[in-house]
């Protein structure tokens, strides 16, 4: 069974340019997470989807970040415009999303973004 797929794996852009990351979760997983992992830090949740609904986006910097999961399957995270401080690894994770139950999160390999 395929795991969480993310692309691209690496991206280098100049500041003020837009960038987008794509995530395809494990088949059948209803919940999808986007995390930000700065160098030397643990992952921090940016946004969580249950199916196509963003149920927790409190940590998403909405002035420049946006995300969508239109059909409740794959998802795109966008930054426009990118800033130097956005250089980090962007992780996607998914889980079954069974309510009131333990749901193990499965992580993708991440997209490493470098903003010059």
The residue ranges that bind another protein (CB under 8 A) are: 3-4, 9, 31, 40-45, 48, 56, 91, 93, 95, 99-110
Measured from the CB atom, the residue of 27 and 101 that comes closer to another protein is 101
Question: Phi and psi (nearest 5°) for 72?
Answer: 70, 20
Q: What is the largest CA-CA distance in the chain?
A: 43
Give the residue carrying structure tokens 């969508």: 68
Measured from the CB atom, the residue of 95 and 115 that comes closer to another protein is 95
Measured from the CB atom, the residue of 63 and 100 that comes closer to another protein is 100
DSSP 41: S
Supply the DSSP string of 91-109, one letter for each residue. Answer: EEEEE---TTS----EE--
Q: Least CB distance from residue 49 to another protein, whole Å?
A: 11
Q: Least CB distance from residue 34 to another protein, whole Å?
A: 13
Q: Least CB distance from residue 80 to another protein, whole Å?
A: 25
Q: Least CB distance from residue 110 to another protein, whole Å?
A: 6
Say how far apart CA 87 and CA 37 lie, in whole Å.
Answer: 9
Say how far apart CA 53 and CA 97 lie, in whole Å.
Answer: 12
Measured from the CB atom, the residue of 53 and 102 that comes closer to another protein is 102
């Amino acid at each position: 069974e395929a795991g969480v797929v993310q692309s691209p794996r690496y991206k280098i852009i100049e500041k003020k340019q837009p960038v987008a990351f794509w995530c395809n979760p494990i088949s059948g997983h209803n919940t999808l997470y986007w995390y930000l992992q700065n160098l030397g830090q643990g992952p921090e949740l940016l946004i969580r989807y249950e199916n196509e609904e963003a149920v927790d986006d409190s940590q998403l910097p909405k002035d420049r970040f946006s995300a969508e999961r239109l059909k409740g399957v794959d998802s795109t995270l966008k930054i426009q415009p990118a800033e130097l401080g956005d250089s980090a690894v962007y992780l996607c994770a998914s889980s079954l999303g069974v309510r009131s139950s333990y749901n193990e999160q499965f992580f993708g390999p991440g997209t490493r973004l470098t903003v010059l």
